[in-house]
Amino acid sequence: MSGSIKPIVIQAGSRGYEVCRVEDDEWATLTDSLAIEEPLEIRIVQTIDGTKCESPISVTMRTPGDDTELALGFLLSEGLIRSASDIEGVRLCSKGSIVRVYLPAHCRIDTERLRRHFYTSSSCGVCGKTSIDAVTVHIQQPLEALPQAISPELIHSLPDKLRATQRLFDSTGGLHASGLFSTSGELICLREDVGRHNALDKLIGSQSYADDSRFSESILVVSGRVSFELVQKALVAGIPVLVAVGAPSSLAIDLAERHQMTLIGFVRNQRFNIYCGQDRIRRRR
Are 220 and 180 a contacting pair, CB within 8 Å?
Answer: yes
Annotated binding site: 266-271
Rounded to 10 degrees, what is the CA torsion of 52, 56, 62, 64? 20
* Alpha-carbon gap, residue 62 to 176, rounded angstroms: 11
Rounded to 10 degrees, what is the CA torsion of 110, 209, 177, 159? 120
* Alpha-carbon gap, residue 224 to 216, rounded angstroms: 22
Reply yes or no on whether 124 is catalytic: yes
Provide CB contacts within 8 A for 242, sequence distance 6+.
Answer: 219, 220, 222, 226, 230, 231, 234, 256, 261, 262, 263, 264
**Catalytic pick from 20, 124, 127, 189?**
124
Residues assigned a catalytic role: 124
